[in-house]
Structure 1
């Protein structure tokens, strides 16, 4: 798990106080901290040994070639000394004490140079690369190639983060991306979001082994993804007017909202179309696979007819994970019949999800899409079914 913003002085102090080295480049909580927060972790993490990597997401805002560029990056470092050096260098050009994601007025290329200067093991991954406003290929402030963004240091980039609104199959349409490993991560804005998207490795529990898997692909087995239609910027649109368009419709309307005439926010699907040199469905040789899932709180929320963040859903999730185990195991591994013993409707939902039998309502212009497993006429569960007594 990434630590989050190690650049913030107060959070960096927390990390120094509460983390201790574990395997090479990885950290664990001090024993006393383990006891204090163990009960607060989501069910899918509480029973697992957790290791932490020093990580931060950084926004670079700068002019280049007559346009404002706003690009997000993920930076990883193997030890606290390297992180302290990174913070020292970044503190020359940014106020690291501001709350929220650190924003720096330097180019993406210079941020990469700063990262590499912090020593062996330091690396940078472009974040949510297709997002309109802050992705390296985004329609609003991005580029058409990585070379335009990172210049002479592009060779030090070896992985790209897909973001919620794209999945590997969409990225495979651009042959220029074949040499990069595709990863998927979740912002840890709140504990239930941890693991919403994730990257799967079969390596030693070792920072440098993970880095090597990202460089070579050996040991990177794939990703667990949103359905990209659920992301906030999958298709084009104008939220204020309630207008949502597929790429061909956008082209027919000249990229403008047919209601008010303003420019549409061009989403990920259109941007991939613009840069693609392959048809959909092509998979490059050696590319790691992926699985599209719907987070368990959303599935349970649909079953109960309430929002995924409600107390009713949290209570049911706690009941299910106590009986069945971690969320990803429920969604991917457990026999449907076993799930159905504890919740017949969840068993049916997971069966449909595994078969890809879902209804997709794409997101646009900052509005999340929706993935539904049941039709509007199918009944909702009035209350969670009780678990059977086990002896």
Structure 2
């Protein structure tokens, strides 16, 4: 998660709007994001009050203007916050520049304040909600662990080329190279948008780690585009135990990894996109301009994999690939997912049927059909995995479609687009 104090993030990324969107999506627990930023830290202290152990709730509910479009049953859903921040480390190691992102979690404001004091000695924490520090990854982990009982760190979007611990541009081949003698203090990995657990299962060295997915939301409407499902008490320390042991970690809800910005290899400027085999044939070079391709997640997984695709370790938590509801509605209407028409229709659907994640993953298709027959057909296909995939590459998002390009999306093609 990120707040409005992070670069390239929405001015609406405040606690009130994040709470509204969590309810709309069907999410109970959010990270605060950015607790190292002085202004956001002060806001968190002012506006959050303790709830369950290690968790917080809003001191006051969002005002009527923010809450106006949520139906009463959704508006009443509880939302909790956990103190979190994404930290970017940039440092030399092994003759290369390393750029690694990490997710850091704290159980209380005292621990967060201690962590901020450590980072504040070496970095300007007020310059960005996602601070950039010159610490190496091992020392950031040590700073995390020494800040308070229950503080922990999760490597973020581990396969992303530029900032993942296994990334092709500035990462490592093993966690031990990155975290050294403290590697045993890492117990969970965040898969990122461009990979899912099935891809990670191909690397036997990752079997001992719990796999989690988070939205990396730079604006409230994309909360829960990826999320992790826990079957535990609503309690920071219960969640920490689930991440350490796997007991209570029910699985994840994922993008189709092809929709992520770095799934396959390519060079966006030249419009070149390649699968791993093509990249190897071209020696990693763009055939148009002769520059190096950005090697994506799929290639990097294949580089480190020692198992075939389709292998699943015993006891691994499951996952489901979904497409955000506004994207599906936008495809049916033939407009963008951020259009006014899509926003209005999703408002109507959630008012009638409940949170977005429940519509996509839980509600019986026949119940959806009462309100939106074409959406019911789209959701049925999505749940069966009957989608077409246009993979993302070199910073360009991919696209997932539940209908074929020439397939009528409405019962009567002469009628204007509608979900009814």
Q: How high is the TM-score relative to the length of structure 2?
A: 0.89
Judge conservation of contact 1:41–1:191 (CA < 8 Å) in 2.
no
Where do 1:1-391 residues align within 5 Å?
1-30=30-59, 32-35=60-63, 39=67, 46-380=75-409, 382-385=416-419
RMSD of aligned residue pairs (Cα, Å):
1.5
Query: How big is the shift at 1:46?
Result: 3.9
- CA deviations 1:59-86 (Å, max 9, x no partner) are 0001101100000000000000111111
| Secondary structure in structure 2 of the residue aligned to 1:53 | strand
Judge conservation of contact 2:232–2:248 (CA < 8 Å) in 1.
yes
Where has structure 1 moved over 3 Å in runs of 4 or more?
33-38, 40-47, 383-386
**Structure 1 unaligned regions, length at least 5:** 387-391
| Secondary structure in structure 1 of the residue aligned to 2:80 | coil
Query: How big is the shift at 1:380?
Result: 4.4
Query: How big is the shift at 1:336?
Result: 1.1
* CA distance in structure 2 between the partners assigned to 1:38 and 1:208 by the alignment: 31
Judge conservation of contact 2:403–2:409 (CA < 8 Å) in 1.
no
**Greater CA deviation, 38-47 or 314-323?**
38-47
**Greater CA deviation, 374-383 or 101-110?**
374-383
* CA distance in structure 1 between the partners assigned to 2:163 and 2:217 by the alignment: 18
| Secondary structure in structure 1 of the residue aligned to 2:81 | coil
* CA distance in structure 1 between the partners assigned to 2:279 and 2:149 by the alignment: 46
Aligned to 2:11: none
* CA distance in structure 1 between the partners assigned to 2:193 and 2:127 by the alignment: 26
Query: How big is the shift at 1:378?
Result: 1.8
Judge conservation of contact 2:54–2:107 (CA < 8 Å) in 1.
yes
- CA deviations 1:320-352 (Å, max 9, x no partner) are 000011111111111111111211110110010
- Give the total of aligned pairs: 385
Judge conservation of contact 2:55–2:236 (CA < 8 Å) in 1.
yes
